[in-house]
Amino acid sequence: MAERFIALLSDFGWQDPWIGQMKSIIYQENPNAKVVDLCHELPSFDIFSAGFKLFRAFKDFPVYSIFVCVVDPGVGGKRRPILVVTEDHYFVGPDNGIFSFIYKTENVRQVLHINATHYFRQPVSNTFQARDIFSPIAARLSEGIEVDKLGEPVEDYLKIPIPDEKIEDGKIKGAICGLDKFGNLITNIRFSSIKELASLTKMSNFSVFVQNKEIKLVGGGYEQKLPVFAILNSSNLIEIACSASSAAEFLKIGKLPVPVEIVGAK
């Protein structure tokens, strides 16, 4: 069996013990597990932001990797622990919409309500299900357990609204969905859509419009002479940036998502 990475994503802080406790439970079950910290200290309770960060990163992991995603303002409530199974990966976390980008973009084979309580750490805390449910389930998955032993399929899993990315009326319509620590603004518009628009319009230069402001799409990286510019980032998504400063502050971008359009430019 191919090795299965376990990647952790959370809004937990490094100053608290929770990340280490999750890893301890994983290693107690599977001492040979390969655990990666994908990202932590995400904006507290921000399910949309966490889901987009997961979407940006998960394809860089080997097939059959397991993503434990914990941004969970409803922990201890009625929401279910779930396992999302796609063609290539597993996603473990709360049924609160955090996997909505995965539902929208990937071929989801099944979603299971995790109810195999005999695999849980006991007693299960009402406030730390990441340690007591998600971590031991991820460890079992890393050992190759069959998913049907972990729960029952469900169809009524929660989805939150996710902006569309589409070509319409000679332009690409999308949204700014992410913000990194440098203030760069990441859209959901893929490079493949730029190529498709170029083919349709026979144009090779493009501009991004955000809140009635025109921003040139340029080649290269972050060292540009323009005060604000759009580039292709490492996730093959269009990103708006400023050289050595915050594009979010420059454009006064607040709550996400924010609509954007890309059109041909002369």
Say if residue 28's pLDDT is above 80.
yes
How large is the average pLDDT for residues 238-254? 96
CA angle 255, 261, 264 (to 5 degrees): 155
In degrees, rounded to 5, the angle at the alpha carbon of residue 199 between the alpha carbons of residues 197 and 200 is 65
Using one digit for the tens of pLDDT, what is the confidence trace for 206-219? Answer: 999 999 999 999 99
Per-residue pLDDT tens for 49-82? 999 999 999 999 999 999 999 999 999 898 999 9
pLDDT value at 223 more than 80: yes
Task: Tell me: pLDDT of 36 over 80.
Answer: yes
- Distance from the Cα of residue 217 to its chain's centroid: 24
pLDDT value, residue 1 = 55
User: Residue 3 pLDDT more than 90?
Assistant: no
Supply the pLDDT for residue 103.
98
Predicted confidence at residue 76, as pLDDT, reads: 87
Q: Which class is domain 5-153?
A: alpha beta
Parallel, antiparallel or unpaired: strands 213-216 and 166-168: unpaired
Question: Distance between CA atoms of 259 and 246, rounded to whole angstroms?
Answer: 19
Instruction: Indicate where the chain has its CATH 2.40.30.90 domain(s).
Output: 166-264
Q: What is the mean pLDDT of residues 183-210?
A: 96
pLDDT tens for residues 98-156? 999 999 999 999 999 999 999 999 999 999 999 999 999 999 999 999 999 999 999 99
pLDDT value at 265 more than 90: no
Long-range residue pairs from 125-131, CB within 8 A, at least 24 positions apart, any chain: 126/75, 126/76, 127/75, 127/76, 128/18, 128/21, 128/75, 129/72, 129/75, 129/76, 129/81, 129/94, 130/10, 130/12, 130/18, 130/22, 130/68, 130/70, 130/72, 130/75, 131/18, 131/21, 131/22, 131/25
Only one residue has tokens 């996730």, namely 235
CATH architecture assigned to 166-264: Beta Barrel (2.40)
Nearest Cα neighbor of 46 from 110, 100, 111 is 100
CB distance 154 to 111 below 8 Å = yes
Q: Which residues belong to CATH 3.40.50.10790 in the chain?
A: 5-153
User: What percentage of residues in the chain have a pLDDT greater than 90?
Assistant: 95
The predicted pLDDT at position 2 comes to 60
Contact 228, 215 (CB under 8 A): yes
Q: Please check whether residue 57 is in contact with residue 8, taking contact to mean a CB–CB distance below 8 angstroms.
A: no
Phi, psi of 22 (to 5 degrees): -60, -45
In this predicted structure, what is the pLDDT of residue 266? 73
Mean predicted confidence (pLDDT) in 88-94: 97
For 166-177, the pLDDT digits (tens) are 999 999 999 999
Residues 71/47, Cβ–Cβ less than 8 Å: yes
User: Cβ of 46: how many Cβ atoms within 10 Å?
Assistant: 17
